[in-house]
């Protein structure tokens, strides 16, 4: 994924004040942090604008910085993109809405389209027709405006620090570079396109010499979907509010699709398959001939297995696909595992025994047989049976406790401004999994050999629980409020996607010079699933493993992935044992400073 960084401040190069020094050193750190995201090329375009009264004195400096992880097109690409004075820092992928040929680069094509626009509405129209994840900063020369935004689902990270008296600079960046008491990064909101009007800024700054005020008075929020425009990708879809009929045939077994669901299963498969295809095709080769270009965050759960299987259909058969399966040495868990099944003991004794074990010494040999490793290996077998001729590199990523401790500070910096205990356990799991460094085996009983994945694209199964009602809370909602409550919960789920975890995950994974892609979060998939009547997606009256995200389970079994089709939901931090390493209790508690 690419790195985007933009700064605007009012310092003269020769000023040498301490606050200027702070801005300069933060900018240097932010350039560095963004460079990791785009290892292919990095560069800056700097614009110094003079005071009209005194042309020798620069009154504001704008820097556009971009780092490139080339994933589209054959030619070398330099970021930021520049055309006739227009500048685009682009971290994104165009999967629809603008023609990009297999040999072409999406950033280059997008800038051509943007540069031709004469009015802001045209620019808004271009983005409202684009399907794909993005975060960008764009300077449009004719309008003399700076625009920045993320896609409506927030699938790419973009942070903003708005100028304050302590740090009078506008900073927009894909990633933070650690904490500083004066740096107030927050995620750029996805409900609008943010705009800074340069002429307004200049007028205000010339009169008041107050940078903070000038920035405030010149920034505005442009609606993503002006009333008279019909834009298919300007906002995530609304959930179908229809209440199911009092009686409808229930799914008896996942192996038998009731007639009324046969069409929806097929249509869902076609749309998800296309979304996956768009995310694995035309990836330029950067590793050795015959090496993997595509990898999957692979827990062996239903979502990641379906994604791996669909990727297989579109990646050339002679090319391996890497499956990243992460397991943590978690001293607390290992001590408990050592004790065997204490669940059979009476409660009081269980508690006493647990405490004694937690205080005792850890086992001598770390174990990486975490729940996700067990299901991962089972699904590997199922995929091997179903996809003859494909090499699946099952990458066992084993993370010793000490390595987790050593990486902690870096991961905490990368995930900022996210800062809870749960953020950290998820971020650690993603950080190590996506790095793709571990061991592989040529056969189940063979000795492992070290392996580092060269794949730049990392597929993730995230999103299906949100769309199809895969969480326990959906069942709970049915319990207290019936179908209307489930529908409300599903809508909330979609509305929350942009502010939840995707920005954080992007910041973590991209630090390895890789890019996550989420087939379930294609806007086409989202609007198809959202539009289905609720009882087509899930049936909370059926047991877990059947009724939760039922439509996907039917699809999965239809593909032949019988074992995968009935796997139960397990959060990544628990499946990999990255959670509660040191006995932390509350996931939503803020991390200690």
Active site residues: 2
CA–CA dist 318, 108 (Å, integer): 31
Which CB, 293 or 390, lies closer to ligand ASN?
293
70 is a contact residue toward ligand ASN (CB under 6 A) = yes
Residues 6 or more apart from 104 whose CB is under 8 A from it? 72, 73
Please answer whether residues 148 and 94 qualify as being in contact, where contact means their C-beta atoms are separated by less than 8 angstroms.
no
Which CB, 106 or 151, lies closer to ligand ASN?
106
92 is a contact residue toward ligand ASN (CB under 6 A) = yes
Q: Beta strands 449-452 and 457-459: pairing type?
A: unpaired
Which CB, 39 or 232, lies closer to ligand ASN?
39
Residue tagged 């040495």 (tokens):
329
218 is a contact residue toward ligand ASN (CB under 6 A) = no
Question: What minimum distance in Å lies between the beta carbon of 156 and ligand ASN?
Answer: 8
89 is a contact residue toward ligand ASN (CB under 6 A) = no
Tell me which of 5, 90, 136, 368 binds ligand ASN, using CB under 6 A: 90
Please answer whether residues 280 and 294 qualify as being in contact, where contact means their C-beta atoms are separated by less than 8 angstroms.
yes
501 is a contact residue toward ligand ASN (CB under 6 A) = no
Which CB, 45 or 571, lies closer to ligand ASN?
45
Q: CA 504, 508, 509, 510 torsion: positive or negative?
A: positive
CA–CA dist 207, 189 (Å, integer): 30
CA–CA dist 146, 87 (Å, integer): 9
72 is a contact residue toward ligand ASN (CB under 6 A) = yes
534 is a contact residue toward ligand ASN (CB under 6 A) = no
Tell me which of 8, 27, 30, 77 binds ligand ASN, using CB under 6 A: 77
- Window 106 to 165, contacts with ligand ASN (CB under 6 A): 106-107
Rounded to a whole number of angstroms, the distance between the first and last alpha carbons of the chain is: 29
Which CB, 77 or 486, lies closer to ligand ASN?
77
CA–CA dist 264, 259 (Å, integer): 10
Q: Where are the alpha helices (DSSP H) in 79-210?
A: 106-115, 120-128, 198-208
Token representation of residue 515:
């890019």
Which CB, 71 or 428, lies closer to ligand ASN?
71
71 is a contact residue toward ligand ASN (CB under 6 A) = yes
| Count of residues near ligand ASN by CB under 6 A | 15
Residue 400: CB atoms within 10 A of its CB come to: 12
CA–CA dist 125, 122 (Å, integer): 5
Pick the stretch among 89-97, 247-255, 381-389, 581-589 that binds ligand ASN (CB under 6 A). Answer: 89-97
- Window 422 to 461, contacts with ligand ASN (CB under 6 A): none
Tell me which of 20, 91, 177, 299 binds ligand ASN, using CB under 6 A: 91
- Window 93 to 112, contacts with ligand ASN (CB under 6 A): 93, 105-107
Pick the stretch among 62-70, 255-263, 317-325, 381-389 that binds ligand ASN (CB under 6 A). Answer: 62-70
- 199, burial (CB in 10 Å: exposed 0-12, middle 13-18, buried 19+): exposed
* Binding residues for ligand ASN (CB under 6 A): 1-2, 68-72, 77, 90-93, 105-107
């Amino acid at each position: 994924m690419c790195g985007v960084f933009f700064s605007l401040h009012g310092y003269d190069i020769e000023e040498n004040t301490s606050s200027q020094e702070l801005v300069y050193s933060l900018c240097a750190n932010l350039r560095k942090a963004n460079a990791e995201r785009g290892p292919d090329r990095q560069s800056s375009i700097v614009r110094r604008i003079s005071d009209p009264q005194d042309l020798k004195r620069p009154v504001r400096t704008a820097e556009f910085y971009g780092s490139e992880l080339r994933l589209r097109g054959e030619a070398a690409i330099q970021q930021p993109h520049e055309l006739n004075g227009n500048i685009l820092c682009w971290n994104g992928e165009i999967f629809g809405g603008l023609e990009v040929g297999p040999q072409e680069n999406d950033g280059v094509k997008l800038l051509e389209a943007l540069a031709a626009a004469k009015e802001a509405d045209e620019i808004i129209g271009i983005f409202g027709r684009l399907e794909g994840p993005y975060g960008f900063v764009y300077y449009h020369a004719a309008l003399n405006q700076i625009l920045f935004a993320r896609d409506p689902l927030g699938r790419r990270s973009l942070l903003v620090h708005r100028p304050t008296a302590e740090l009078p600079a506008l900073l927009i960046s894909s990633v933070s570079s650690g904490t500083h008491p004066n740096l107030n990064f927050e995620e750029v909101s996805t409900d609008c396109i943010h705009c800074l009007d340069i002429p307004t800024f200049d007028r205000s700054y010339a009169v008041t010499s107050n940078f903070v005020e000038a920035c405030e008075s010149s920034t505005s929020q442009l609606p993503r979907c002006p009333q008279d425009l019909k834009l298919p990708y300007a906002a995530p879809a609304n959930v179908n509010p229809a209440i199911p009929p009092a009686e409808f045939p229930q799914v008896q077994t996942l192996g038998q699709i009731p007639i009324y669901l046969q069409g929806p299963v097929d249509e869902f498969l076609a749309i998800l398959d296309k979304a996956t295809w768009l995310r694995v095709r035309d990836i330029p080769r950067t590793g050795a001939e015959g090496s993997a270009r595509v990898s999957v965050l692979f827990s062996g759960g239903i979502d990641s297995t379906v994604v791996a299987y669909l990727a297989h259909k579109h990646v050339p058969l002679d090319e391996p696909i890497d499956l990243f399966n992460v397991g943590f040495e978690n001293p607390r868990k290992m001590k408990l595992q050592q004790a065997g099944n204490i669940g059979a003991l009476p409660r009081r004794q269980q508690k006493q025994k647990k405490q004694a074990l937690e205080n005792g010494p850890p086992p001598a040999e770390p174990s990486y047989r975490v729940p996700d490793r067990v299901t991962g290996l089972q699904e590997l077998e199922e995929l091997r049976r179903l996809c003859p001729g494909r090499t699946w590199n099952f990458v066992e990523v084993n993370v010793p406790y000490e390595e987790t401790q050593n990486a902690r500070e870096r991961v905490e910096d990368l995930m900022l401004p996210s800062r809870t205990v749960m953020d950290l356990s998820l971020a650690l799991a993603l950080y190590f999994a996506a790095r793709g460094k571990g061991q592989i085996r040529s056969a189940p009983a063979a000795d492992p050999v070290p392996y580092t994945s060269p794949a730049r694209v990392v597929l993730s199964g995230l999103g299906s629980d949100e769309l199809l009602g895969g969480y326990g809370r959906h069942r709970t909602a049915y319990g207290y409020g019936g179908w209307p409550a489930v529908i409300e919960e599903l809508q909330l789920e979609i509305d929350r996607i942009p502010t939840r975890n995707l920005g954080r995950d992007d910041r973590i994974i991209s630090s390895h010079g890789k890019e996550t892609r989420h087939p379930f979060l294609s806007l086409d998939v989202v609007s198809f699933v959202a539009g289905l009547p609720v009882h087509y997606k899930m049936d909370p009256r059926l047991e877990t493993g059947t009724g939760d995200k039922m439509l996907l389970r039917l699809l999965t079994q239809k593909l032949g992935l019988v074992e995968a089709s009935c796997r139960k939901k397990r959060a990544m931090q628990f499946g990999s044992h990255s959670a509660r390493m040191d006995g932390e209790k509350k996931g939503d508690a803020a991390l200690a400073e």
